[in-house]
Structure 1
């Protein structure tokens, strides 16, 4: 049976709790974390893990609903498993919802390295050509690294492949050194790079750039991008310094501070100071100009203002205490030459929990990179690093970069729309814009409404999206957020070919809350766009309720970027592929007389009006269980904590199937070829589906298809055949509409061949391993009935054969 890879818990709208209840729950976080850990340990076998697996807590947060969300890092044989995480969700009454599961299974390797850590670091230094000193001591960790490939599960002709139709396969697990190096000097420039080095042979398995780019009051500070503003400063040594005494504690300097660039290693003496507490002149500073002028202070004013605004924005909108949620202070360095980039950059570093901002270029084409949305962008990288820790490569890197664009843009709407000045708890609908870095350069950096306008960013998901620079693979998520907020039109730049009918938006305030909850509560380090969709749907349901306008907007926005299906649950009586039913959720027949409901006790039940049960899955006794109609065509009820399947319809051989609750009270799963492959009662007016005898493995022993049969079903192993004989009346055409189960190995596909009664081949067609539907037709042009024989053959893949019978159906039309 095909199983769901990962899922965020899906549930109805959750209500915020009273402050005194939250205080009690937050005080009990450690004990709740321990309870979650104990439950996980008891579920190892159900999770498909052996005794060498351990779970180590990363962080627990208790939200305004009283839900405690604990991130656990997977370890195996004492080693961290890269990307292996599970997030538990414990409600105020200590009931566990389904976890966010990103665990790795079936790990097998030698955990003893033959390459030393010193040699691994030397390989990295040689690869980078490091000449100068490291900015920070390199970090090196021995871990288990899964080497994966993404495989389409449906035919991708004509660009029809969407993100939910791709399977993640682990080729092998490698013992590797994860090496993180940062340099910031004249010889090497400003770089932060990560490497995965095979701990046995020294091969570079992966490398990527991890430089994440883009109490007194001074009441008349003049900024370049924000006008005249008020700043919180500190009176010190007969003058004033850009130290915010209201925001941030601890960290490197005790509060949030802004420093001027003196050297690659910041020092407390570099904090900006002014004798009179009047800061800046609102002008752009050109590199090489005097460093004692008011213009030199202007960039610092913009950054200090942006830091304070972002801090307050997080508190008012998300009830978050600063970047890490615990109020840890950060610092920013301005006029940083951003070596080897010409000053045209801004960046965040998790190593120093700090930001650096460049001046742009001396021509003024690029101005100081300190605009409000860029400051918010860099601080959001810190937020991501303190929550989901999205790795800065592949699709997760695009989601990381998009999160910074999204929160930077939301900040701009909040400030420019008057929300900051009013101390508002909502984000105004106007005031901001949907571009990144406007005012900083003569041509904009990125467009959220149509990212491809910059000539390099992507508007929608594709199979090769993760191969792009993260600033370009962020495009689809940026666009989805725009669609969530503003809606999509049916033509023009704000339309999508994947959602030609357009959609309605829900406003930036609600869209931002949904995405923040998705990132902070459900996403893991290696989440991709499919996981992002699942997380956003779960967040929308929790915040605003199942079936709400907000949930509908999330479904449609992701459809518009080619990730998953559009919302169509309102099409009565139908449960669409990929859709979950959480406790209390249901599907009604079109006449409203029959309801399929996932009950709170875990049972999936079909009721007639008056609460008369018609059918049930017998899965009661599993509170919190949920159902999903999977992409492979199988309806499955899962246990909530372990995702163990409790019941299934055994229809995983019908990818693309539909489930309907009919007005006559029947519930049917129908294959794409029209055959009913599962039902409560046999549907009227449909002939029987004849099962293969098992002895029909040769032409001479073909099963005779009975007159009136709607089709046949069977299962065939690799390099084996099954045969069916049927009679075709004169002048008639017969079509064999074949649908096979998914095959997880390339080359191991199906071939359907038509023979005449003399065993002469008439026609043949071969499926792909992931698009298993094909059709073969025969027309009898003679004056007498003719027999034909259908052969179903499983092809042999000698490199990686997939053994075991794979089921199929053939509709006879």
Structure 2
């Protein structure tokens, strides 16, 4: 009697099913590609599509609800466009939702280069060591008007023995270098930071042939340099055993460990909580400058260098300003500049400062570091003899900040007018009575100090942070004032938790409690 080979049959069926799935996947991918290209050509105002433009799919992501994100590289007249890639987002029915790209100018077919390939290669070797490969004629359009350029490959070895595989972009009109980057991504190592304020922490560093450098390849390449009490120059910290500092100011690497740790925690907070990859949301890391100048009792963020700068303090009232909440505060100024770009004066300036205080505190909570527990005080670790730079529980406790909104609050220094939003955020997150202290509400009238005894229950800092971040990134603009902040945060809460939700009502109540109806 004949017995069929069921095992063979099942395997055959599985193979046929897999083949069918593969064919279906490729068919679906081709369909998504074709649909994306149709949208690109149908909406040239959004895609900046033009004559002789062509596209090649690099990646396709399909969400659980069927919506898709098709990432495509662009060529014009057969030339690769550096910076011309785009993502076409559609809903599950294939309707266009958005196009994402970084072009600001349309691109026309390029003419002939004034500089040939040989001269482009020579322009590179005159200034940089290495072996030059075959240059490729491209159109360069990263954050600038499109220009005909040469992508000159350059290979060699750094002083520490690490090989490099660079792309050097040379203007085909005049030989000027437009950009450069390295395709070699160095290995990360795990080191120990002996910080001033956060105890002993784990640091991700960069492994070199001769030791380690304080650079984090896993977080956009962010790094820390020693300014050596100067105001320019500086060199990246290096070390032989990957242990940085001694928990005291006698080792200059201690403050560097704090800064690098603060950068890493802030990166992780924004990425893991808000889905933001780096300050500019482009995956690129900022860098730190520590030991800036002499007796410099401040810290600041600079958009120009895309970096944080930390002084060592004056030694009498302020210690080195590299605490975790200060790091989160300064990096958040960068986030604000890349989103709402709140103008640093008047009420918008107060909102700018408050945003940094809010997220500086949330970074501290996120770290869950026993040596620097989360709180609603700003800079409490850097004060000689105790105290804090600012309090979100009762901002007026510093003798200058406003607890309540009033018509003249915008005339205060932005560090003091920020008190209104800081007070609002604390009441929204924790309520009037919490383990962090009693926070009085504001009474009617033109007063800057809260003396009321109203009662509010907080919604929790996680929800409050989500609401503020969404308002910052989708509602606030450069001139948003406190009235606009009230409207923006209520709208954000409605979107996140439902129109008329308990969270949205709590936002409105917290603004009323600080005098901004």
* TM-score bracket, shorter-length normalisation: 0.5 to 0.7
Given that residues 348 and 381 in structure 1 are in contact (C-alpha distance below 8 angstroms), is that contact kept between their aligned partners in structure 2? yes
Q: Aligned-pair distance for 1:217?
A: 3.2
Give the structure with the larger strand fraction: 1
Could you report, residue by residue, the CA deviation over 1:626-659 in whole angstroms, capped at 9, with x for unpaired residues? Answer: xxxxxxxxxxxxxxxxxxxxxxxxxxxxxxxxxx
Aligned to 1:333: 289
Aligned to 1:545: 498
Aligned to 2:273: 317
Could you report, residue by residue, the CA deviation over 1:342-367 in whole angstroms, capped at 9, with x for unpaired residues? Answer: 3100000011111100101234x311
C-alpha change, 1:542 and 1:259, in structure 2 (3 Å) is same
Aligned to 1:241: 213
Separation in 2 of the partners of 1:64 and 1:256? 34
Aligned to 2:164: none
**Pairing 1:279–2:234 present:** no
Separation in 2 of the partners of 1:536 and 1:435? 23
**Pairing 1:433–2:375 present:** yes
Separation in 2 of the partners of 1:31 and 1:272? 49
- Choose from 437, 442, 449 the match for 1:497: 442
Aligned to 1:397: 349
Given that residues 489 and 501 in structure 1 are in contact (C-alpha distance below 8 angstroms), is that contact kept between their aligned partners in structure 2? no
SS where residue 335 of structure 1 aligns?
A: strand
Aligned to 1:297: 253
Aligned to 1:651: none
C-alpha change, 1:497 and 1:509, in structure 2 (3 Å) is same
- Choose from 296, 315, 329 the match for 1:362: 315
SS where residue 246 of structure 1 aligns?
A: helix
C-alpha change, 1:277 and 1:486, in structure 2 (3 Å) is same
Q: Aligned-pair distance for 1:221?
A: 2.0
Aligned to 2:225: 259
Q: Aligned-pair distance for 1:234?
A: 1.1
- Choose from 420, 444, 454 the match for 2:398: 454
C-alpha change, 1:563 and 1:435, in structure 2 (3 Å) is same
- Choose from 185, 192, 201 the match for 1:229: 201
Separation in 1 of the partners of 2:37 and 2:404? 40
SS where residue 505 of structure 2 aligns?
A: helix
TM-score by length of 1: 0.40
Given that residues 212 and 239 in structure 2 are in contact (C-alpha distance below 8 angstroms), is that contact kept between their aligned partners in structure 1? yes
Given that residues 425 and 464 in structure 2 are in contact (C-alpha distance below 8 angstroms), is that contact kept between their aligned partners in structure 1? yes
C-alpha change, 1:92 and 1:468, in structure 2 (3 Å) is farther
Separation in 1 of the partners of 2:36 and 2:352? 31
Given that residues 218 and 278 in structure 1 are in contact (C-alpha distance below 8 angstroms), is that contact kept between their aligned partners in structure 2? no
C-alpha change, 1:457 and 1:431, in structure 2 (3 Å) is same
Aligned to 2:460: 507
Separation in 1 of the partners of 2:339 and 2:206? 31
Separation in 1 of the partners of 2:419 and 2:467? 18
Separation in 2 of the partners of 1:321 and 1:314? 7
Q: Aligned-pair distance for 1:277?
A: 1.1
Separation in 2 of the partners of 1:92 and 1:37? 23
Separation in 2 of the partners of 1:368 and 1:541? 41
Q: Aligned-pair distance for 1:239?
A: 1.7
SS where residue 510 of structure 1 aligns?
A: helix
C-alpha change, 1:440 and 1:495, in structure 2 (3 Å) is same
Separation in 2 of the partners of 1:402 and 1:30? 45
**Pairing 1:527–2:493 present:** no
Q: Aligned-pair distance for 1:497?
A: 3.0
C-alpha change, 1:356 and 1:67, in structure 2 (3 Å) is farther
Separation in 1 of the partners of 2:266 and 2:92? 30
Given that residues 332 and 355 in structure 2 are in contact (C-alpha distance below 8 angstroms), is that contact kept between their aligned partners in structure 1? yes
SS where residue 333 of structure 2 aligns?
A: helix
C-alpha change, 1:394 and 1:512, in structure 2 (3 Å) is same
Q: Aligned-pair distance for 1:216?
A: 3.7
SS where residue 382 of structure 2 aligns?
A: coil
Could you report, residue by residue, the CA deviation over 1:27-86 in whole angstroms, capped at 9, with x for unpaired residues? Answer: 979969x96978xxxxxxxxxxxxxxxxxxxxxxxx999899xxxxxxxxxxxxxxxxxx
Pairwise mapping of residues 2-401 of structure 1 onto structure 2 (< 5 A)? 215-248=187-220, 255-262=221-228, 263-266=230-233, 270-283=235-248, 285=249, 295-337=251-293, 342-363=295-316, 365-401=317-353
Separation in 2 of the partners of 1:411 and 1:36? 41
Separation in 2 of the partners of 1:356 and 1:474? 22
- The CA RMSD over aligned residues, in Å, is 3.5
Separation in 2 of the partners of 1:234 and 1:305? 14
- Choose from 463, 481, 490 the match for 2:407: 463
- Choose from 427, 432, 435 the match for 1:488: 432
Question: Computing the radius of gyration over CA atoms, which structure comes out larger, 1 or 2?
Answer: 1
Given that residues 432 and 438 in structure 2 are in contact (C-alpha distance below 8 angstroms), is that contact kept between their aligned partners in structure 1? no
Aligned to 1:694: none
Could you report, residue by residue, the CA deviation over 1:449-488 in whole angstroms, capped at 9, with x for unpaired residues? Answer: 1100000000011111111111001000001110110012
C-alpha change, 1:352 and 1:449, in structure 2 (3 Å) is same
Q: Aligned-pair distance for 1:489?
A: 4.5
Separation in 2 of the partners of 1:476 and 1:67? 42
**Pairing 1:413–2:355 present:** no
Could you report, residue by residue, the CA deviation over 1:552-574 in whole angstroms, capped at 9, with x for unpaired residues? Answer: 1100111111111xxxxxxxxxx
Separation in 1 of the partners of 2:37 and 2:407? 40
Q: Aligned-pair distance for 1:504?
A: 1.3
TM-score by length of 2: 0.62
Q: Aligned-pair distance for 1:95?
A: 9.4
Could you report, residue by residue, the CA deviation over 1:707-763 in whole angstroms, capped at 9, with x for unpaired residues? Answer: xxxxxxxxxxxxxxxxxxxxxxxxxxxxxxxxxxxxxxxxxxxxxxxxxxxxxxxxx
Gaps of 5+ in 2: 1-27, 47-62, 70-89, 98-186, 444-451
Pairwise mapping of residues 555-704 of structure 1 onto structure 2 (< 5 A)? 555-564=508-517
SS where residue 305 of structure 1 aligns?
A: helix
SS where residue 485 of structure 1 aligns?
A: helix
Given that residues 217 and 230 in structure 1 are in contact (C-alpha distance below 8 angstroms), is that contact kept between their aligned partners in structure 2? no
Given that residues 435 and 444 in structure 1 are in contact (C-alpha distance below 8 angstroms), is that contact kept between their aligned partners in structure 2? yes
Q: Aligned-pair distance for 1:443?
A: 2.6
Given that residues 459 and 475 in structure 1 are in contact (C-alpha distance below 8 angstroms), is that contact kept between their aligned partners in structure 2? yes
Q: Aligned-pair distance for 1:235?
A: 1.8
Separation in 1 of the partners of 2:400 and 2:497? 35
Could you report, residue by residue, the CA deviation over 1:229-288 in whole angstroms, capped at 9, with x for unpaired residues? Answer: 11111122502110001011xxxxxx2010000443335xx00111221110111x2xxx
SS where residue 196 of structure 2 aligns?
A: coil
Given that residues 188 and 218 in structure 2 are in contact (C-alpha distance below 8 angstroms), is that contact kept between their aligned partners in structure 1? no
C-alpha change, 1:549 and 1:30, in structure 2 (3 Å) is farther
Given that residues 346 and 411 in structure 2 are in contact (C-alpha distance below 8 angstroms), is that contact kept between their aligned partners in structure 1? yes
